[in-house]
Amino acid sequence: MTTIDGVLRLRGTTLGAGTPQVCVPIVAATPEDAAAAARALPDGAADVVELRLDHLTGSALDPAVARAAVAAVRAALPATVPLLATFRSAREGGAQAADDDAYAAIVDAVIDGAVIDGAGAEGAEVGGRTADAIDVELATPGVADLVSRARAAGLAVVVSHHDFAATPPADEIVALLRRQRDVGADVCKVAVMPHDPDDVLALLTATRAFARDADRPVVTVAMGALGVVSRLAGGVFGSAMTFASAGAASAPGQVDVDRLRAALALLHDAR
């Protein structure tokens, strides 16, 4: 990874400049199914692929399952497409429960795989790397240490917070993003559940307030039907990446990737 003037470069993808990048999640029960889903992605569909490790059967109990899936998906993807590895905890909407020790073990498995498969220290050759980035939840005990270890292995770190129940006020969202920055995030991410249009406005207001002076990319999402506008137009307010589905969705309100790309082209080509 390379970060210059708030812009993060991962393989052939740039976050933090121009049109938001499109991340397509892979949701599968086995490493083999995950790799098959990666191979089935149409050319150019994904700027980033997110592998949802929490959907892999048994991954919470056996981190080796997660690591095998990361390696299989990396091998199936084009060399220019970066891979984001994410185990979403049940407390933040994930598919299976993992206590704090199990969660840390999964993160460490991804980190160790990055080192063993050729990542080494930051700036090293990425040809043999498995994951290019990893998601670490802000609420994780010892989050700063996990982030530091991941970055030392050459991984970019998305520090995230997900609220599937509500949308905090704009100033609280900005505070969450600042805490993510302070623990060492390369990318700060917040996703919330809106209950009325004012909630969506709160998210977009916070995105603009943080992005205006940010020294790293920010990603924000309002989920559900009300939040679709944030997936389409979040980049106007400073969000560097948006999520789209190419098959099974990983969160409520995800838009089909082809329809999302058409909307992004309409918004950003006209600017």
Q: How far apart are CA 146 and CA 137, in angstroms?
A: 10
Catalytic residue status for 161 = no
How crowded is residue 36: how many other Cβ atoms within 10 Å of its Cβ? 15
Cβ-proximal residues to 176 (8 Å cutoff; 6+ apart), any chain: 138, 161, 168, 190
From 55, 189, 195, 268, the catalytic residue: 189
* SS3 annotation, the chain: CEEECCEEEECCEEECCCCCEEEEEECCCCHHHHHHHHHHCCCCCCCEEEEEHHHCCCCCCCHHHHHHHHHHHHHHCCCCCCEEEECCCHHHCCCCCCCHHHHHHHHHHHHHHHHHCCCCCCCCCCCCCCCCEEEEECCCCCHHHHHHHHHHCCCEEEEEEEECCCCCCHHHHHHHHHHHHHCCCCEEEEEECCCCHHHHHHHHHHHHHHHHHCCCCEEEEECCCCCHHHHHHHHHHCECEEEEECCCCCCCCCEEHHHHHHHHHHHHHCC
Active site residues: 162, 189
